[in-house]
């Protein structure tokens, strides 16, 4: 009986040390490629080497409370997290970033199309005019690709990631 008690006490002390040493922190890493696509991972080894210098690390401390929370609390809803540790505000910020990218691309398209109309109205049929027009058209195509990517992220990419993360769909609605 004494030996079992000793082993049980050793187990309790070890469990207590492990629990006290665990700080409940988890890290998420975020980076963006040349085309503006945002990536997330919890494993820094999965970040391509060329993006490692520009990684944003997000460390979140998980709640460690053992007390039960009331079911009807608004604070509980505000603090709810998905499987990756992101809350509603994080998802809405992400959507806001992509909406901003879409708007910037649309504005750039409009601006460059106006420049082409101005060039055409000047009727400068020179080689320089053709070069300038091709340069502006290339910028329009780049802006259209960025706009299309933003539209794709807003309509398919973010909802798909939210579903994988088990984030409630109402988090993706504008407030």
| pLDDT score recorded for residue 25 | 55
**Is the pTM of the predicted complex or chain greater than 0.85?**
no
Buried b (16+ CB within 10 A) or exposed e, 62-88: eeeeeeeeeeeeeeeeeeebbebbbbb
Contact 153, 91 (CB under 8 A): no
Q: Which residues of the chain have pLDDT under 50?
A: 64, 73, 75-77
Report domain extents, the chain.
24-63, 73-175
pLDDT in tens, 37-63: 888 788 888 888 888 887 888 776 555
């Amino acid at each position: 009986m004494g030996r079992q008690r000793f082993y049980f006490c050793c187990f309790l002390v070890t469990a207590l040390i492990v629990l006290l040493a665990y700080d409940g922190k988890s890290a998420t890493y975020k980076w963006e490629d040349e085309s503006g696509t945002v990536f997330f991972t919890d494993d820094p080894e999965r970040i391509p080497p060329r993006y490692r210098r520009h990684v944003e690390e997000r460390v979140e401390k998980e709640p460690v409370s053992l007390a039960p929370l009331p079911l009807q609390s608004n604070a509980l809803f505000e603090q709810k997290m998905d499987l990756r540790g992101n809350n509603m505000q994080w998802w809405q910020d992400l959507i806001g970033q992509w909406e901003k990218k879409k708007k910037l691309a649309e504005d750039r398209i409009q601006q460059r199309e106006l420049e082409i109309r101005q060039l055409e109205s000047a009727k400068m049929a020179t080689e320089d005019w053709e070069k300038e027009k091709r340069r502006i058209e290339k910028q329009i195509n780049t802006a259209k690709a960025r706009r299309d990517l933003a539209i794709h992220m807003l309509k398919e990419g973010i909802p798909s990631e939210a579903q994988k993360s088990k984030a409630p769909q109402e988090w993706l609605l504008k407030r």
